[in-house]
């Protein structure tokens, strides 16, 4: 199966290469944000993409579904606290779980993820995710892939 095979490959799997290219281009935007590149990577684990109005060439739009951000943002704070503790020469208090356990918890696959989050940080994450989706769509359009992906999206969501 290739990246552009119309044989049932999920549409979102077909944009992996494009996302890697956009990640590189988008790094300046991340650098200007409140997030480090590592934090942005964690944020993006909670972002899914959809295509609104996929069947309408003029109205189709790639959108970032950020519904899961509230679950992952507390992990950013724990990571920052751990980095600050290590920088100060202290052993970080990891609450008994490793990074993977904490990410699982943050994504709702484990313990308590109902922690307070910084609403401003949430708004910034959503703004960046939306900007990323726009840049990704522009990249797909400029490379002649947008129509193919919209068609795959429509087929997958029948």
pLDDT value of position 105: 60
Looking at residue 113, its pLDDT comes to: 41
Q: Do residues 43 and 58 lie in contact, with contact meaning Cβ atoms separated by under 8 Å?
A: no
> CA 42, CA 125: separation in Å to the nearest integer?
11
pLDDT per position as a tens digit, 122-139: 999 999 999 999 999 999
Of the two residues 3 and 84, the one the predictor is more confident about is: 84
The phi, psi pair for 62, rounded to 5°, reads -80, 125
pTM metric for this prediction: 0.76
Write b or e for each residue in 120-150: b if 16 or more Cβ atoms lie within 10 A of its Cβ, otherwise e: ebeeebeebbeebbebbbebbeeeebbeebb
Average pLDDT for the chain: 84
Query: Span 24-30, mean pLDDT?
Result: 95
Distance CA 128, CA 44 (A): 10
- Cα dist from 156 to 6, 51, 83, whole Å: 11, 11, 42
Contact 136, 62 (CB under 8 A): yes
Q: To the nearest whole percent, how much of the chain has pLDDT over 90?
A: 62
Encode pLDDT of 50-73 as tens digits. 999 999 999 999 999 999 999 898
Of the candidates 135, 133, 128, the residue with the CA atom closest to the CA atom of residue 30: 128
Q: Is the pLDDT of residue 94 over 50?
A: no
Q: In the predicted model, is pLDDT for residue 42 greater than 80?
A: yes
């Amino acid at each position: 199966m290739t990246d552009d095979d119309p044989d049932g490959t999920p549409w979102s799997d077909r944009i992996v290469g494009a996302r890697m290219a956009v990640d590189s281009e988008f790094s300046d935007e991340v650098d200007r944000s409140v997030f480090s590149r590592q934090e942005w990577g964690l944020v993006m684990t909670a972002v899914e993409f959809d295509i609104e109005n996929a069947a309408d060439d003029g109205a189709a739009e790639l959108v970032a579904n950020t519904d899961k951000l509230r679950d992952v943002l507390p992990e950013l704070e724990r990571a920052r606290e751990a980095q600050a503790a290590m920088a100060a020469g202290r052993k970080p208090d990891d609450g008994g779980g490793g990074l993977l356990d904490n990410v699982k918890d943050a994504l709702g696959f484990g313990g308590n993820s109902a922690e307070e989050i910084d609403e401003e940080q949430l708004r910034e994450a959503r703004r960046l995710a939306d900007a990323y989706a726009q840049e990704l769509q522009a990249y797909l359009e400029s490379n002649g892939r947008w129509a193919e992906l919209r068609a795959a999206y429509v087929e997958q969501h029948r």
